């Protein structure tokens, strides 16, 4: 796949985008924790950054009606502006907590457009037969950055200051735009139908497709109970439970990325196996339970790695199966609904942050991971067809 020029450029752009996003996640959480000492506010800033996923369906609609490459360039122009503002405030030593929340919100706004547009563009560039491998390779790019991004940001913040981390964030966003401008325009024709009709077509597709609805429900559960662990709880675990600073937090996030990378590489070699999606949704929270009880840093690194290997299986296969359920002209809208599901992360971040402030991060994670396992297991028992490929059904 990487031999194809347009996909290769999009892969590089994805690497830059995801690196910047993970670096920001670490820096924002640490800045808020250092300034407020409040797990609730750490969860709140993660929620603020994720709330714009509610606009995912609009981003998906735009991805189906506009040139996708140009839309991505515009989206990351907004990221350049907000990262410039954050770096300027840090360098002038004028950054207040309310600035962090406002700029985190601006950063989150771009996710609602970037996610459906980039995934729809992948499908447009590679075609149906190569889609599963292409999605896995895109996830490989993202997983590499979960290893690299937090480690770089945490190291720069520890050696210099958070401003050093944000300088790198800004550099990566600018490089993203440069790479995207090198992708040849796809000359996507705008649909003749009205935008409202496009929306209703997407809703009709979901009504007719029970498998897509079940996959989206599992993704919602994961975004409420799984992903907020990294954004809302991990800074608290790093400082209050494991006794490490921003560099140690960066290594924790990087270990999650290493596990996710291993899962994505495995899927790129194996190909499409729907049963691996359900296995991933179970393994992810199953390894978070012993992580919650661990006070040993080395063991915590290993457990996060295993948990995020399960995350990779779940997210890769769910994204691939959702795209395959849709016709090419509807893929942006379907991924827009998938982005809407990610809006569950703000609720999870707020809830987990509030609970961690009252009962501590370990007990909070134990409750969340137990609920995660129970929901997935119950759905797997009630709908055993989720474990089977179409050929096996």
Q: Are 115 and 59 in contact (CB under 8 A)?
A: yes
Work out the percent of the chain whose per-residue pLDDT is above 70: 85
State yes or no: pLDDT of 132 exceeds 60. Answer: yes
State yes or no: pLDDT of 206 exceeds 70. Answer: no
H helical segments located in 226-273: 228, 234-236, 246-270
Q: How far is CA 108 from CA 60, 164, 346, in A?
A: 15, 21, 11
pLDDT band of residue 273 (cuts 50, 70, 90) is low
Written as six digits, the tokens of 160 are: 């210099």
Residue-level pLDDT at 129:
62
Q: How high is the mean pLDDT of the chain?
A: 82
Residue-level pLDDT at 347:
81
Written as six digits, the tokens of 383 are: 């709908």
The answer to whether the pTM exceeds 0.85 is: no
Residue-level pLDDT at 389:
45
Of 17-21, 119-123, 218-222, 227-231, minimum mean pLDDT range: 119-123
- 3-class DSSP assignment, residue 133: helix
Cα 173 to Cα 31: distance, rounded to the nearest angstrom: 20
Of 68-77, 166-175, 377-386, minimum mean pLDDT range: 377-386
Domain chopping of the chain, boundaries: 5-181+193-387
Cα 240 to Cα 253: distance, rounded to the nearest angstrom: 16
Residue-level pLDDT at 362:
94
Domain 5-181+193-387 matching CATH 1.20.1250.20: the answer reads yes
Written as six digits, the tokens of 136 are: 């896995």
pLDDT tens for 183-196 read 876 555 555 555 55
Work out the percent of the chain whose per-residue pLDDT is above 90: 26
Residue-level pLDDT at 391:
41
Cα 202 to Cα 211: distance, rounded to the nearest angstrom: 15
Q: How far is CA 56 from CA 174, 261, 277, 326, 339, in A?
A: 24, 25, 23, 17, 5
Residue-level pLDDT at 334:
73
């Amino acid at each position: 796949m990487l031999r194809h020029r347009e996909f290769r450029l999009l892969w590089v752009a994805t690497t830059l985008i995801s690196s910047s996003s993970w670096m920001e996640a670490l820096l924002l959480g640490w800045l808020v924790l250092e300034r407020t000492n409040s797990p609730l506010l750490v969860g709140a800033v993660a929620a603020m950054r994720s709330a714009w996923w509610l606009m995912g369906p609009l981003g998906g609609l735009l991805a189906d009606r506009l040139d996708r490459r140009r839309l991505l360039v515009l989206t990351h122009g907004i990221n350049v502006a907000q990262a410039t503002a954050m770096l300027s405030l840090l360098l002038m030593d004028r950054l207040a907590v309310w600035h962090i929340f406002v700029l985190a919100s601006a950063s989150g706004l771009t996710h609602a457009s970037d996610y459906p547009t980039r995934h729809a563009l992948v499908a447009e560039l590679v075609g149906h037969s190569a889609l599963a491998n292409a999605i896995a390779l895109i996830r490989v790019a993202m997983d590499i950055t979960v290893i690299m991004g937090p480690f770089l940001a945490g190291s720069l913040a520890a050696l210099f200051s958070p401003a050093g981390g944000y300088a790198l964030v800004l550099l990566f966003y600018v490089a993203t735009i440069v790479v995207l401008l090198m992708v040849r325009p796809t000359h996507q024709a705008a649909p003749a139908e009205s935008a409202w009709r496009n929306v209703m077509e997407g809703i009709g597709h979901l009504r007719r497709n029970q498998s897509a609805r079940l996959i989206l429900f599992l993704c919602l559960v994961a975004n409420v109970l799984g992903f907020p662990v990294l954004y809302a709880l991990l800074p608290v675990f790093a400082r209050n439970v494991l006794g490490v600073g921003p560099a140690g937090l960066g290594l924790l996030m990087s270990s999650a990325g290493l596990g996710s990378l291993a899962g994505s590489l495995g899927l790129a070699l194996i190909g499409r196996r729907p049963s691996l999606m359900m296995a991933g949704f179970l393994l992810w929270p199953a390894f978070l339970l012993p992580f919650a009880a661990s006070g040993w840093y080395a063991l915590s690194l290993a457990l996060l790695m295993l948990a995020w290997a399960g995350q990779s299986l779940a997210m890769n296969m769910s994204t691939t199966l959702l795209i395959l359920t849709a016709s090419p002209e509807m893929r942006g809208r379907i991924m827009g609904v998938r982005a809407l599901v990610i809006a569950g992360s703000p609720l999870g971040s707020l809830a987990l942050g509030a609970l961690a402030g009252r009962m501590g991060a370990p007990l909070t994670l134990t409750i969340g991971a137990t609920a995660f396992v129970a929901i997935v297991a119950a759905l797997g028992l009630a709908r055993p067809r989720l474990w089977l490929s179409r050929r096996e059904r």
